[in-house]
Amino acid sequence: MTSGTALIYDEEMTNYKLLWDDTNCGIEVPERLSSSYERLKHYNLVERCVRLPVREGTEEEIMLVHSSDYLKVVKNTQTLNEEELRRVSANYDAVYFHPNSYRCAKLAVGATLQLVDSVMGGEVHNGMALVRPPGHHSQRNAANGFCVFNNVAIAAEYAKRKYGLQRILIVDWDIHHGQGIQYVFEEDPSVLYYSWHRYEHQQFWPLLRESDYDAVGQEKGKGFNINVPWNKVGMGNADYLAAFFHVLLPLAFEFDPELVLISSGYDSGIGDPEGQMRATPECFAHLTRFLMHLANGKLCAVLEGGYHLRSLSESVCMTIKTLLGDPIPHLSGEMTPCLSAVESIQNVRAAHKPYWKCLAYEEVPPLEDLSTKLHKAAEAETAQTGTCPVTKDNAVNRNRDEALKIERFLELHMKNILFPVPPTKTAAAVISESDARLLPSSVLVEKEIGVKELKSIVSEFDAKLVKEEKVLNSLEKMLAVLNKIIKKEVILKPFIAKTLTGDFMPDFGAYAPASQEQVLAIQKLRDQLQLDWKMLQCSGKQLVSSSTSLFCGNTIFKEKIL
């Protein structure tokens, strides 16, 4: 059986840097690579990995994605002086060249392909390539956003041609939209590209309309391009996990990839000056573990962005630890996605409903952004009265304050709206993120849930339900079935234990959608349960109805929104 985690790193990829002052490019420094590697050594992770040699990518391999003319431009930078390098760099957006850029960019491509070969050839099960320069912004004829050659896009095309793969999943968790990857595969149904990114209604770089949720691909590739735009900063663990659970994972399991490639940008992590988000390094451990259940574990992570050195290096270590099979640490903070994240998630699901069987029966109309609603409401109020009762500046401040009040109010009432369940949790965390009145206090213990603990909880849970008059019979039956499985079906215990400890799940096989009859039955049950279970209160229909009760000026709050 294939085992082992590959780590590819070559110090030579630190041998280029910015030679002049540039506020946009100054954050892309060699220490991004060296500090990550030193942190891996600090945790003794390097010696636990399979070290693979680094090779250069060939010109033929680079031209799987890039044009020969562009390759020639980059190749010629080897002999240019500083002033000439500066002029060439100015032809592109947020890019700088150095005499060693071409050599390092070829090493980055070669390291990525070496990792793909090792995983597909069975030498290792998974791995990570620490490379520089990054790649996901670069396009066929242009460098872009610190990126020279598109490492992950080249790897996907390479894997398709060399190994005959027909389904490749690319997960881009960098905080910037990897438009370069999108452009390469937007008409290709053999590559499912998923990206979340800071967008802020097209006000954040790269400032592209095609980074929004309704950019789903072109021609035969429609439905295979997934963009989750973050329209505000400060997104945290709950928001990232919610996007995985309610967008990526359902579609990914239906897609059933043969290989998973991660554009591992850690500027989406806490402390990063570019992303200004709040995902902790532990969050990337959970994200990695979820993806390890796809493609029979064939996973290749390739470094992209990340500009806070401590946050970057700790997140890289968490990714490697997870690939090695280490236990996943518990997540900190409340597992409650914010309203803005819920809006983006529902909009993505609505946009992709026509293309995916797992969304075919969902009622997920797109949600208009709350700030847009408030703006329109203010305009309507002014148009109706013919004049605004306050000055323009005060109106702006008033609308902003009301938007914040409304959003905070909704967030408090939408607690656990998209309750994500990591592979292991403490019993206290389970209770805090569910309806505590249904669980006995005896399970408030700080220990990881294994088979014994789950058996105990279900048993006490079931006993409590007998005394709870308001609990539906359907819920009691569901728990009784779970109780029976754990108590009597001994053959299933190993699978339950493996799942709880984060081991690989068995292959689900070909995706078979539920029948219309089954879907209606499930929807009926969901409608019955969702009043008492916040984790079910995530339909677009509910959010739309709740949003329509919000008005600018004389703000009205419904007593019970959900």
**Of 66, 137, 293, 352, which is the active-site residue?**
137
225 three-state secondary structure: strand
- For strand 225-230 and strand 191-198, is the pairing parallel, antiparallel, or unpaired? parallel
First to last CA, the chain: 50
Instruction: Provide the residue type at 319 as one letter.
Output: T
In this structure, what token pair is assigned to residue 441? 């206090």
- CB count in 10 Å sphere of residue 202: 14
- Which amino acid does the sequence have at 223? G
137 catalytic? Reply is: yes
| H helices present in 77-209, as ranges | 82-89, 101-120, 151-163, 179-185
CA distance 490 to 167: 36
- Find out whether 66 and 141 touch, Cβ atoms under 8 Å: yes
C-alpha 371/C-alpha 399 separation (Å) is 9
> Tokens standing for 528?
């019955």
If 0-12 CB within 10 Å is exposed, 13-18 middle and 19+ buried, where does residue 256 land? middle
Q: How far, CA to CA in Å, does 558 sit from each of 285, 533, 541?
A: 39, 19, 16
Alpha carbon distance 125, 116 (integer Å): 10
CA distance 546 to 51: 54
DSSP 300: E
92 contacts 148 by C-beta, under 8 angstroms: no
Residue located via tokens 């390759």 = 71
Please tell me the distance from the alpha carbon of residue 422 to that of residue 216, in angstroms, as a whole number.
28
C-alpha closest to that of 101 among 155, 53, 64, 146: 146
Rounded Cα–Cα distance for residues 457 and 546 (Å): 35
Place of tokens 């309309």: 209
Name the phi and psi angles at 193, rounded to 5: -110, 125
- Give the β-pairing of 191-198 and 50-51: unpaired
Which residue intervals of 96-150 are DSSP H helices? 101-120
State the Cα–Cα distance between residues 168 and 255, nearest whole angstrom: 9
Token code pair at residue 274: 């570019």
CA distance 314 to 86: 33
Which residues are catalytic, by number? 137
